[in-house]
């Protein structure tokens, strides 16, 4: 079987990290004879990873894309030109399937159009699913209608949980929909590093000071760092003898730094640490982690925190209540509930949740399901596809 992977993202974030793990799973599949990976040369970290993978595995071929999604965004002619050139390559390759990494349905469009132009069966790897226009404005309604058309383009979908799968089955009723849950490095669940050792290693105080961590791409619209800062300022007294560490980088890094610098309250307790290649010590050093996102797939940091047996307080969005107890969830936009949950989180027992996460998010489960979703034969036309039927837990099948 010949399959391909297409990713034109210029970002090397959480979805790209899961894509790398997807690649590794497919390399190990005895049913896959060739794996052709399209990746932008300008995404240095991801491109280097794929080149190294091709060097170590003969079945892998790297196909360098001369663009990123970001470089052609808003330029219709450039996207059409790149779609046509990619389609020409796909016609020569004659792949059985092409997996397209789409963070949202409007990302990776050049690959989706190329698959349609070349007649290649497309599988969208989609962690975020819209279900309505952003607002009642006419322009947003028009954009939503266009998106609805795009949702009907992929032949198959691979998404992260039943909540997202249910949305896709409404938006793309004729497409096969399958679930592939994330997995994380097992060392998060087996580390012998103690809280005191982690704090000493990182130069953080271990004198009763409470440490709260926000780990993720600095993007206000998505990860809501601005909401976290607003919550601190509104409840300044609660954050005395507290250090809030923010790890990550992104489009709003400069705005984040400016907000902290301009506020005496924030300057007193917030530390911006930038991107870190290894977040395990910071998770272990923390009392509580926070993720007040406006939307999510299945965030890796949530899994990592629970495996390390650290509570993480998240907004009740995107079906995350299927993973965490009510005591670690708060209504989006509710500053008071957010702060209340943060300071009560240390009393929430997470050991039992961690035990379930170790089973649910293991590499063995991930690899088996990743291979299955890519090697499952295409269903005959106009027949019922059991892979798209509702299921409480696809991984148990």
pLDDT at 394 > cutoff 50? no
pLDDT in tens, 57-72: 999 999 999 999 999 9
**Spatial distance between the Cα atoms of 18 and 277, rounded to a whole number of angstroms:** 15
pLDDT at 295 > cutoff 70? yes
pLDDT at 396 > cutoff 50? no
pLDDT at 132 > cutoff 80? yes
- Cα three-residue angle 209-248-222, rounded to 5 degrees: 105
Q: Which 8-state DSSP code applies to residue 383?
A: S
* Confidence band for 263, pLDDT divided at 50, 70 and 90: very high
**Spatial distance between the Cα atoms of 6 and 43, rounded to a whole number of angstroms:** 13
Q: What is the mean pLDDT of the chain?
A: 93
Q: Which 8-state DSSP code applies to residue 205?
A: -
pLDDT at 388 > cutoff 60? yes
CATH topology of 2-183+362-379 equal to that of 187-358? yes
CATH superfamily of the domain spanning 187-358: Glycogen Phosphorylase B; (3.40.50.2000)
Domain boundaries along the sequence of the chain:
2-183+362-379, 187-358
Contacts of 70 (CB under 8 A, 6+ apart): 9, 10, 11
What are 305's two structure tokens? 């925190």
Within the chain, how many helices (H) and strands (E) appear?
A: 18, 13
CA quadruple 124, 129, 131, 132: dihedral sign: negative
User: What's the pLDDT score for residue 395?
Assistant: 36
pLDDT in tens, 163-209: 999 999 999 999 999 999 998 888 999 999 999 999 999 999 999 99
User: What's the pLDDT score for residue 392?
Assistant: 42
State mean pLDDT over 210-217: 97
User: Residue holding tokens 């004659």?
Assistant: 94
State the CATH class of domain 2-183+362-379.
alpha beta
Give the pTM: 0.87
List C-alpha distances in Å: 367 to 23, 138, 162, 244, 296: 10, 44, 19, 36, 23
């Amino acid at each position: 079987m010949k399959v391909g992977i297409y990713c034109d993202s210029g970002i090397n974030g959480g979805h790209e990290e899961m894509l790398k793990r997807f690649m590794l799973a497919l390399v190990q599949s005895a049913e896959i004879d060739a794996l052709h990976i399209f990746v932008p040369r300008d995404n240095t970290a991801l491109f280097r990873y794929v080149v190294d993978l091709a060097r170590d595995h003969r079945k892998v071929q790297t196909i360098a894309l001369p663009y990123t999604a970001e470089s052609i965004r808003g330029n219709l002619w450039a996207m059409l030109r790149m779609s046509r050139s990619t389609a020409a390559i796909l016609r020569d390759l004659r792949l059985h399937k092409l997996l397209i990494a789409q963070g949202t349905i409007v990302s990776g469009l050049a690959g989706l159009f190329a698959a349609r132009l070349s007649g290649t069966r497309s599988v969208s790897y989609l962690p975020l699913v819209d279900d309505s226009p952003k607002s009642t404005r006419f322009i947003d309604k028009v954009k939503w209608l266009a998106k609805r058309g795009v949702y009907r383009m992929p032949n198959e979908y691979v998404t992260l949980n039943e909540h997202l799968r249910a949305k896709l089955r409404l938006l793309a009723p004729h497409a096969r929909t399958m679930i592939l849950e994330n997995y994380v490095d097992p060392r998060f669940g087996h580390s012998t590093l103690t809280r005191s050792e982690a704090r000493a290693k990182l130069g953080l105080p271990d004198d009763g000071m409470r440490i709260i961590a926000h780990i993720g791409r600095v993007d206000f619209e998505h990860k809501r760092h601005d909401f976290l800062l607003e919550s601190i300022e509104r409840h300044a007294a609660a954050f005395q003898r507290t250090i809030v560490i923010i790890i990550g980088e992104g489009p709003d890094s400069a705005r984040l730094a400016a907000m902290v610098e301009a506020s005496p309250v924030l300057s007193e307790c917030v530390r911006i640490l930038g991107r870190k290649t290894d977040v395990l010590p910071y998770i272990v050093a923390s009392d509580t982690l926070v993720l007040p996102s406006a939307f999510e797939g299945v965030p890796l940091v949530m899994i990592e925190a629970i495996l390390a047996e650290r509570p993480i307080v998240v907004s009740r969005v995107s079906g995350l209540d299927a993973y965490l107890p009510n005591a670690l969830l708060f209504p989006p936009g509710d500053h008071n509930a957010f702060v209340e949950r943060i300071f009560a989180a240390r009393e929430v027992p997470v050991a039992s949740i961690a035990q379930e996460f170790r089973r649910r998010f293991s590499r063995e489960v991930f690899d088996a399901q990743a291979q299955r979703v890519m090697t499952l034969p295409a269903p005959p036309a106009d027949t019922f596809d059991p892979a798209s039927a509702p299921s409480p837990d696809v991984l148990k099948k």
